[in-house]
Amino acid sequence: MKHVVRERLLEYAVWDRVTRWFHWINFCAVLSLAAIGTVILFAGSLGVTDSGKVALKTVHVLVGYVFGLNLLWRVIWGFTGNRYARWKAILPFGKGYVREAREYTAGFMAGSAPGWLGHNPLGKLMVGALIIVMLAMGGTGLILAGTDIYYPPLGSTMKTWVAEDITRLDEVKPYSKTNINDARFKEMRSFRKPFIQAHGTLFYALVLLVLVHIAAAIITEIRERNGIISAMFTGWKVFDKEPVDRDR
């Protein structure tokens, strides 16, 4: 465990560089996707043309690829990163978790929460929820990319499904009826419907979780003063007493 003592405070290296890069790439990607998605959602009211919708959706999908690849890398890093980046340390499982959550909650309410180098027990709940929602968002997003603007990984399959003549798949384009079989196109859109509904619901769930996450980080920073926010820039947390998970 790398740590230094500074002015009676204990500094510990916690978040490795990969974890920090993931966090901020994810933050920028989610913010961009939410902003573009909101414009797409209200495109009709805003008077956006069909070509404008295609452009917006194309950018949305491209940013979505960055989001998905970054998330996939984080999943892998959960098995290979440092001890605080691993799934065992960031998900709300394991022996004694319920007891730790009770102790942390009681301490937090009393203003004397035990310090945690990694995610505290309540933070683990938030991380678990965020990971699940983001994975679901990524999965449904890939399906929508294929069924709407025919982007990979399902774009070619969807084109083949709706094309009147599969030898002319290059003519199948978003918002165009050229080489489209109406009956099969309706089938494809029926297949798409539950995924777009799920994607929309997940969007609101993710926005709520992100807002709660930010608020919790700010409150914890004010109450505990352990550098929970600055640690995502520097990698280091600061404590005035030994963290409870130092030797775990």
Residue range 42-89, pLDDT digits in tens = 998 999 999 999 999 999 999 999 999 999 999 999 999 999 999 999
Residue range 3-28, pLDDT digits in tens = 554 555 789 999 999 999 999 999 99
Output 245 or 201, whichever has higher pLDDT. Answer: 201
The enclosing domain of 133 has a CATH number of: 1.20.950.20
Task: Classify residue 163 by burial, with Cβ atoms within 10 Å: 0-12, 13-18, 19+.
Answer: buried
Backbone torsion region of residue 163, taken as left when φ is above 0, otherwise alpha when ψ lies between -120 and 50, otherwise beta: beta
Taking 70 as the threshold, does the pLDDT of residue 248 lie above it?
no
244 part of a folded domain = no
Query: 3-class SS at 55?
Result: helix
3 part of a folded domain = no
Question: Which tokens go with 187?
Answer: 């089938």
145 part of a folded domain = yes
Please say whether the beta carbons of 216 and 126 come within 8 A. yes
Domain with 22, as residue range(s), is 8-239
Query: 3-class SS at 11?
Result: strand
246 part of a folded domain = no
Question: Which tokens go with 225?
Answer: 């003063």
- Rounded to an integer, what distance in angstroms lies between the CA atom of residue 152 and that of residue 149? 9
Other beta carbons within 10 angstroms of residue 96's beta carbon come to 9
162 part of a folded domain = yes
Residue with tokens 């799920």: 198
Query: 3-class SS at 69?
Result: helix
Task: Using alpha carbons, select from 140, 123, 125 the residue that is nearest to residue 203.
Answer: 140
207 part of a folded domain = yes
173 part of a folded domain = yes
Residue range 87-118, pLDDT digits in tens = 999 999 888 899 999 999 998 888 888 888 99
191 part of a folded domain = yes
Question: Which tokens go with 209?
Answer: 């979780």
Q: For the residues 122-146, what does the mean pLDDT come to?
A: 96
- What domain count does the chain have? 1
Please tell me the predicted confidence (pLDDT) of residue 10.
Answer: 84
Query: 3-class SS at 163?
Result: strand
Residue range 151-194, pLDDT digits in tens = 999 999 999 999 999 999 999 999 999 999 999 999 999 999 99
